[in-house]
Amino acid sequence: MTNQTIIDYVKAELSQDKTGHAWDHIERVVANCRQLLAKLNKVVDEEIVITAAYVHDCLDDKLFNNPEEKEVQLKHHLLNNGLSTDQVVTIIDIIKNQSFSANLTSRQALSLEGQVLQDADRLDALGAIGIARTFYYAGAKGNPLYNQSSVRTQLDKAAYRQAENSSINHFYEKLLKLENLMNTEVGKNEAHKRTVFMQEFLSNFYQEIGQAPSDNI
Ligand code: ADP
Ligand code: NI
């Protein structure tokens, strides 16, 4: 059972978020963790998974401009609320290594606890909720829905991606890749269902805007 003080801390830390990482995201990730844990036939430290799930976005450099300070603050908070030094080290290690961005250059080694949290967080980037969060994030950042000039060379495509990140492009640079990166069997099955739904969404989207399917919009 995660300490109420830790829950209140997370709520306060994420209360200003307008990019899809607010308290509702945390609740869904915790719920996803519980579902994965219930179906996992392995010995896992559930307290570590659940506490890490609650605090996993509390030192993200996309959300905070002082992530090092946030890390120190979070460590103190966890230590002052009943967690041992070992548990705090384990939790901080998990949340620093589980994000998509932390795994871009090389895949980080994750404990089983970290793998469950990573799958749970990724599931919230997929399916109907994943679609909603993507457009919500793009709105907060002022990014376009899609790029209207679809005829581009490969070179232009790379340049475009760097310059301006459209919501549709985000499906190709991240969301559609997640299914193959899942750690657990149960997570992979759910990721597959959600990915099929996103593909259907994309296909309708292209049809409605009168453009050919492309990862270049
Ligand atoms: P992680 O914490 O795994 O690095 P992010 O915080 O980058 O993942 O992404 C969380 C969610 O925020 C994504 O699944 C997506 O919904 C949204 N998001 C992040 N970057 C973008 C983007 N460039 N365009 C649209 N949505 C984005
Ligand atoms: Ni998250």
Q: Is 202 a domain residue? A: yes
Q: Is 81 a domain residue? A: yes
Question: From the centroid of its chain, how far is CA 53?
Answer: 11
Q: Which two tokens stand for residue 21?
A: 């990482």
Q: Is 12 a domain residue? A: yes
Asked if this assembly's ipTM is beyond 0.90, the reply is yes
Q: Is 115 a domain residue? A: yes
Decide: 79 and 88 in contact? Cβ < 8 Å: yes
Closest C-alpha residue for ligand 1 atom 27 = 134
Q: What is the pLDDT of residue 151?
A: 44
Ligand 1 atom nearest to CA at 101:
4
Range of the domain at 64: 2-209
- Of the bound ligands, which one is closest to the alpha carbon of residue 120? 2
Amino acid identity of 7? I
The number of distinct structural domains making up the chain is: 1
**Torsion over CA: 121, 125, 127, 130 (sign):** positive
Say yes or no: CB of residue 127 within 6 Å of ligand 1. Answer: no
Of the chain, the end-to-end C-alpha distance in Å amounts to: 45
Q: Is 216 a domain residue? A: no
Decide: 182 and 122 in contact? Cβ < 8 Å: yes
Ligand 1 atom nearest to CA at 19:
12
Q: Is 156 a domain residue? A: yes
Q: Which two tokens stand for residue 157?
A: 């495509």
Question: From the centroid of its chain, how far is CA 201?
Answer: 20
Helix axes 185-209, 23-39, angle to 10 degrees: 130
Amino acid identity of 216? N
**CA–CA dist 99, 122 (Å, integer):** 9
Amino acid identity of 100? F
Amino acid identity of 13? E
CA of 162 to the centre of ligand 2 (A): 23
Q: Is 191 a domain residue? A: yes
Q: How far is CA 212 from CA 185, 196, 198, 200, in A?
A: 34, 19, 16, 14
CA of 132 to the centre of ligand 2 (A): 14
Q: Is 217 a domain residue? A: no
From first to last of its 217 residues, what are the pLDDT tens digits of the chain?
Answer: 568 999 999 999 999 988 889 999 999 999 999 999 999 989 999 999 999 999 999 999 888 999 999 999 999 999 999 999 999 999 999 999 987 777 777 777 899 999 999 999 999 999 999 999 999 999 998 989 998 764 445 555 555 554 458 899 999 999 999 999 999 999 999 999 999 999 999 999 999 998 888 766 7
Say yes or no: CB of residue 170 within 6 Å of ligand 1. Answer: yes
CATH number of 158's domain: 1.10.3210.50
pTM for the full predicted model: 0.90
Decide: 133 and 26 in contact? Cβ < 8 Å: no
Q: How far is CA 50 from CA 16, 94, 108, 146, 158, in A?
A: 23, 12, 20, 36, 39
